[in-house]
Every structure is written in C-alpha cells, then in structure tokens.
Structure 1
C-alpha cells in the first residue's frame, strides 16, 4: 500500500526534474537593432541627436553641413552577443570612432556566428540661402533724397532675415555717384550712421554705400569684379552683400551694400602716414593736380588736407605731388623698363590689377576713371582698391553687355587717352609680362572655378529679389536665368581669350 501512495509523488518529481534541465544549445541572436549619435555624448560637435536610417545591413547617418565627425561616440542596441570594429570591442555610449570612414560593426552571437553591419556617414551640402537682408530707410518728414551734397536725417532698420544680425539706428543719407546719380532713375546712396556699427557682419564704421546697378540688369557685375579681386588677394577689396531696399515705404529695388571708400583701420588702412590717390577724369576733388608727363588727373583722397593748417597742407600737397612725379618720370623716361621704376610701384599689385580689369574688360583705366592707388608711409604705390565696374563686361562704347569677349583692354590709335598711354607702357616690361602670365595661369587653374561657383550662388541668392527689382525698373530681358547664363558664358569666353593673350607673351 505504501508503494501505491508514493508512486504519484515519484512521477511528479521526475517530471519536475526534467523540466528544470537547461538547454545546452547556444543563442544565435546577433542583430544590430539601432544606431545613433546623441548630442549629450558629443556636446562639442552636435546640437541634436542623429539617428541612423537602416536599409538591410547598412545604417546611414546624415550630418549637418560643417559638422566635425572625426571623433564621435555612438550609441547602439543589439539583440545579443558582442560588438567589434576591426577586432576591437565596442561599448555603446563609450567607444569613440572616426565617422569620416566607412565603418564595419560586427555583431557576434553567443554561438559564434556573426553579422557585419556597414555604417555610412554623409554630410549635407551647405544650404543655399535664398533670402537677402532688407533695409528700411525712413527720412525725417519723408523728405526726398535729392542731393549728393545735402544729407537727410533718417531712421535705418535692417531685417537680417535670420542670416545677419538685425539693426535699428539713426543715420544720414544722401545721393552719390556721377552718371549713376545724374542720369538714371534708380539712385545710389551713401549712408553715414550717427554711431559706428557692425552692419551685415562687416566691421564697425559709420559710412556705407548702396550701389543701385541700374545699368547692370544681372545685378551682379560689381560683385563678380570684387570677388575676382578677393581671389587675387588684392588688399582692401570691398565686400558686396545683396540687399532689398525700401525708402519711405516704397520698395526701391535690389542694391549692393558695401563699405565706403575711406582711410580707416577697417577699410583702407594707410593711416600710418600713407596716401590714397584717385585718377579720375571727372577731376572733381578739391586737392588735385595734372601730372606733367601723361596729364593724368590725380586727386588726393588721403591725407585729408582740408583738415590741416595752410602751411602743413601746402607742404603735404607738394610732397605727394613730387613723389608721384618721380614715379611718373621713371615710367616715362627712355631707360624704362631698365631703370628703377619698380622702386615706386609694387609689381604684384600692378599685375593683379591688370588681370581683374582685363578679365572683366573694364576699360575705364584708359580715361582714367575710378582708378585708385594706395601707399603706406615710405612704401611703394599699390594699385587698388578696385572700384566701379558698371561700364565693364564689354559695355564701354557699345552700351550693351556681353556682345564681344575679344577686345583688347587698352585703346589704340586716336582713341588712346592719358590712361591708355600710361598704363599700357607697363606691358613693355618683359618682367611684368612674365609675372602677368604666371599670375593669370595660377588664377585660371586654382581660382577661376571658384569665381564661377560664386556667380552661380549669387544668382540663386538674388533670384527672388531680382524679380521684384524687375517689376519696378524693367531692366533686362525678363528672363533672369538667361541673363545670368549670358554673363557666365561671356566670362568663360573672356577667360579663354586671356589664355591666348598671355600665351603670346
């Protein structure tokens, strides 16, 4: 009887013992479930988390433009086993990796089987900004801005459109320019802030310029010229920022915002006792002289002689005139170029000046007009800063842009003027021609593509603004993309012309 009663217990225990036995088969789980980069673990490089997108055994990370990805710590989850990269064990939230490389993460299961996952990193292209700042100018009592001599008091508000800092302050405003002011309905302006300020990312000063570009239906030519100067490393080349302008509640059009031509630390920095001269046939500054050999119209922009006592002013004027005369005599004399004329002018600045004027076909140096030379105390003359390319790009004498790209920069025969005779003389020096050839070939091979890229970017940037400008002024064909393509094609053809020009040296 005892055996009868013990039998159910024995069977139960046997069944319980069998159920408690562990399986001896190893786990085969080896899946990479998620992969991301947490901002909290990468504070120096990331502003927000970046989660990889999975396609089969590939995880793709997309980083914002400009992100440094050489040393980041990822976070990941797996279904089991261990993780290695190139045989090195990886720990989520701790192991550092260089994401500039394609990474292979191997997940190994407990049973020794493996799956390798590929981590691919991409960086977004720089976002193309398609909005430009808007300047709102309201004059006192809505007074019209109708003089180049009389300033109007005004309030200036700048909406930086999230790209630049906003600004609000008081200013004075008047007209500026010669032909652009006297003959065209869309007027250029000069601003003089009541208090120096950094505007649109540029160094703090009071004086600023708004270029109207009424002749230029692409609204880009001065920007292209200045970019060329910057790519050529020409000192004191102006910054160009496209803006929309509204004056007394009325939209005035697309303008270029830039620095005023003045001697200051943040502008043309020759305050060390240096000189700024302008050669311009308008000859409309108070302190000026015609040179003795080429009859060049030389105007003294700096030092500011009007602020000096008469004796000092006369002495400074004569010293500046004498120095320029020595330079001109050296260029004029029969021994040129086998003399000391390069003691007076920097050869590199001369060649780079010629390159930007020739590439952009700015023939105004033949008059001359808007040609600047700066000189540090005791130093040589340097050509620049470059300025005023409204009449460039094949416009001179034709009143149309982009019709021909093979015209010589210098005028010949009866058309040759004072500037022609002076500046073309430098091209008689084999050393200048050799340097010219070297500098152009370097620019063409290393920088010209950047100039074309800048042209494309600028066109995209102002496209919407150009439409509004066209509605007001009706300049151009009405097809902005076509006009831009004309400029681009002309510039490429002009560069090819330059190739042949220097090849003949």
Structure 2
C-alpha cells in the first residue's frame, strides 16, 4: 500500500512518490450491515514488515500504530457524520478515533472518498489503559485494563456473556475487546464479569436516597458525556450497538470511545431517527434483538445525575457544542471535501438523489444533504436546550453558571430571556418566522447590566421554528432560534 501526501493544502497526484507510506499490509473487508448492503466497501488493515510482522507506522501524521480502518461513507451522503462527531467528542477531552479524509485507488481504479481512521485499541495514544498480561491474574494487576463492547455478534467472536437483567425482551450481550476472547484468562473473565454484574446490581437496586452506591463502580462524568453525544446526534444505534466500556487498573468503568455515527443527525428512517425531538435511551419501546441497557433509564431516574447532566450540557453549549462551533466544524469538513465529493459521486452514481438504506431525507445534491443536516442539528440543539436547562438553586446566580439566554426551549407559552445591556432604555422583542417575516414586535423595558424578563407567546402561535430578536436603539442585543411546542 502506498500513501501520497505532499502536506497540508498541497495537491497530490497518482504520479507523485508514495512519500507517507510505501509498504506491506494485511487487509480485509469489514463492517456488519455495510458488507452486504453497500457496493462501496470498508476495510480493516494492518501495516506489516517485509517478513509479515506487525509494523507500527505513522499515517498522515497520526500516532504510530499498526491497526487501521478505511471507512467508506455511503449511506451518509454528507460523508462527514462520523468525523464531525469524533471531532466534537474529542473537544470534550475524550479519546475519539483520529481521522483523515483520503481518496482511495485499488489496483489503480478510483474508489472515491474514504476516511482513514484509528481502530479502537488499547494503546498509549488510543485507549490509554494499563496493559493486561496473561500472568496478571491476582491482586491489583487483575483490575485492569479492560475494554468491553456491546454490539452485534456478526463479524466478531460472538457473545462472551449475557447480562443477568432483561431490558425489555432481551438481555444485554457483552464481548471482550481487550484482551481478546482467545487471549483473556479465566481469572480475568471472572473479574470483569463480576465487576460489570456488581455495577448492574447497584444500578438496578439503587433507591437514590443520596448514598449513590453505583458511584463506586462507574465514572458518571464519562456516562454523561457519552449520553450527550448519542442524544445530540440522535444515534439510533446508541447505547445498544457499537458501544464500548473501558476500565483501567484500580479504576472505575468509563463509557467510550464512541464509534460508528453514520446513522445520526436524522439519517435513519427507523426508531424515530429523523425526529429532532425525543430521546434514544427510551427507544426500547420498540422490540429489537439489540436493546438499550436498562441502566441508562435508571440513571435518568437519579435527580443528582440529571442535574449534573443538565449542568454539563449548559456549560458545553457555551463553547464546545455552541451552534457557532458546530457550524464551523461542519463547514470546515465540507470545505475540505468540496472537490473530492464531486469525484466521489461521479464514481458512485445513483447515490445522490436516490434512497439508500436507511435514509429519511433524500437531497438532490451534495449541498442539499449538508444543508438539511445542518438544519436538523440546529433544531435538535434547540430541543435539548429546552429539555436540559440547568435548574438553579436559590443561592445560585443563573448568569454565573452560564444559563442559556433563552429558556425553556422548546417552549409552550412563555420564554425566559436574559441578556446584558450597556444602557437603560426601551427596546423590542421581535418574533420572526422561518420565512424571515416579522410576525410580532413587543416593547420591553431594558435596564443596564445583566437582566432577565419574560416573553409571553400567543396561544394562536403555530408550533414550529422561530427566531426571537431583542433590539435596543436599533442595536441587536440577542438573536436566538426557538421552537414552539404543539
């Protein structure tokens, strides 16, 4: 395999030297559903030495390793859903697979846009947990590290053990990811199975009296961030497939790394995947062989957990997950693919403008696909802002803890608005519909400094997306998208 890369912003040609990698690999087709459904195939490969041994290599500036993925975007016609989500998750301080967009040729035949990405693996530059040796069967060494997977069994080693609890109609299935099923010892199997079982027992029987016995088994901060990324993207596979847990030596169970987000941001016509409202963790109402583990719904019964979730959401909406940053990351990825996407869809004709399982929306152009996804994300963020507002205690100042400027959002009949003004004086609250038409203009009295006031909506206001704008002396103080509930 050869990789041609002449550096950031520079063009690459097939006639250029293979200057980033030029060596042996072992390669195979990968994927569960995608292997049979899509003609554009994904691959897993290992970099090898001339004598067939593993050879760590740095590909396109990523850290040295020998296990890699060539992911083939197909049903995701924007081709950026996975990379966008990994980028956002990494901004929260978690390890997420590093990615590089490439254009692939196999035997000199053009195959289109692919994503070269890191495979989930225990490594100091990937899932950085302790190495577990076959001799680590007692004491502290037995406690980690482990990586466990919740997923389909196709393409893997099968079920390694079942949860003792039934979610709706089925039990959660667990698979050993590290150490592998054929390498993990009996003592290590017994330890990690008991640890997960004890964690599930603590959650199942938790009465939420303030003691929080489950905290001795899991890192709730990692569970919260994992929940946020799955709910924000409305991942129909969330929690129940392609979901990983890891445990370091002497550590708690953590959620992650995240994996497989091509059926997100409205790109699924089942399990309500197209809707911008509702929650994925509750989707066990639909019978399926792979179910959301019961513990997610149980965690959401814990008021302390929910408050921590809401506070985390409010904090990251100011920066990492702000509308502006998400749009910036999205636009940057789209710009990077501006030329390559045309070549990709010349190679894969019959994709743009056609239904590919399990599309909900079918755009007639690449730009239409991107625009629809961005609109979906905007509505989803607004919905979660309304569902996850931070609930302040009496001694807390909402301004200090970064409350959202408009809440609840979505709303029914009344909005709370807070903003900062430099002068006293009259202003206006303006309501604008999706067509850009001003449908209401109400006077408001604005005081200098941090202020809060209420905006009453008419009962005749049609449910949907609007923009509220606050002005004073022809200066716009606040503009916010809002969603009116039925």
CA positional deviation for 1:287:
6.4
Aligned residues of 1:227 and 1:451 also touching (Cα < 8 A): no
SS at match of 2:34: helix
Aligned match of 1:304: 180
The answer as to 2:352 corresponding to 1:499 is: no
1-structure distance, mates of 2:172, 2:275: 29
CA deviation map 1:42-89 (0-9, x unaligned): xxxxxxxxxxxxxxxxxxxxxxxxxxxxxxxxxxxxxxxxxxxxxxxx
Q: 1:274 aligns with which of 128, 145, 152?
A: 145
Q: State whether residues 363 and 410 of structure 1, in contact with CA within 8 Å, keep that contact through their aligned partners in structure 2.
A: no
SS of 2:23 mapped into structure 1: strand
Q: Secondary structure at the match of 2:165?
A: coil
Match of 1:451 among 326, 343, 359: 326
Q: What TM-score comes out, normalization by structure 1 length? A: 0.64
Partner of 1:141: none
* Aligned position for 2:21: 167
Q: Within 1, Cα distance between the matches of 2:231 and 2:241?
A: 15
Q: Secondary structure at the match of 1:244?
A: strand
Q: Is residue 214 of structure 1 aligned with residue 74 of structure 2?
A: yes
* Counterpart selection for 1:248 from 99, 104, 107: 107
2:311 — aligned with what?
438
Alignment correspondent of 2:337: 462
On the 8 A contact 2:160/2:181 being kept in 1, the answer is no
Q: Give the alignment partner of residue 323 of structure 1, picking from 178, 181, 195.
A: 195
The answer to whether structure 1 residue 198 and structure 2 residue 54 are counterparts is: no
The residue number in structure 1 matching 2:300 is: 427
Q: 1:216 to 1:413 in 2, by over 3 A?
A: closer
**Residues 295-344 of structure 1: per-residue CA shift (max 9 Å, x gap):** 21011111235236xxxx11111111111100010011152474310111
Unaligned runs of 5+ in 2: 11-18, 49-54, 132-143, 353-362, 392-486
Which deviations, in whole Å up to 9, do the C-alpha atoms of 1:262-314 show, x marking residues without a partner?
A: 11222212234311000124374256100102321011111235236xxxx11
Q: Give CA-to-partner distance per residue, 1:64-119, whole Å, 9 cap, x none.
A: xxxxxxxxxxxxxxxxxxxxxxxxxxxxxxxxxxxxxxxxxxxxxxxxxxxxxxxx
Aligned to 1:364: 237
The 1:200–1:478 alpha-carbon spacing in structure 2 relative to 1, beyond 3 Å, is farther
Runs of 4+ aligned structure 1 residues displaced above 4 Å come to none
> Which residue matches 2:281?
410
Q: CA offset at residue 248 of structure 1?
A: 0.7
Distance 1:232 1:266 in 2: 17
Identify the range of structure 1 (236-245 vs 495-504) with the bigger mean alpha-carbon deviation.
495-504
Instruction: Give RMSD over aligned pairs.
Output: 2.2
Match of 2:38 among 176, 184, 199: 184
**Aligned length, in residue pairs:** 343
CA distance in 1, matches of 2:371, 2:23: 39
Aligned-partner SS, 1:292: strand
Say whether the 8 Å CA contact 1:189–1:209 is kept in structure 2: yes
- Offset of residue 394 of structure 1: 2.5
Q: Which range moved further: 282-291 or 419-428?
A: 282-291
1:238 counterpart SS class: coil
Q: 1:406 Cα shift?
A: 1.5
Deviation at 1:228, TM superposition (A): 1.6
Partner Cα distance (1:173, 1:394) in 2 = 32
Tell me the CA shift for residue 389 of structure 1.
0.8
Matched, 1:231 2:91: yes
Note closer, same or farther for the CA distance 1:361–1:315 as it changes in structure 2 (3 Å cut): same
How far is the alpha carbon of 1:450 from its aligned partner? 2.1
Report the counterpart of residue 479 of structure 1 in structure 2. 365
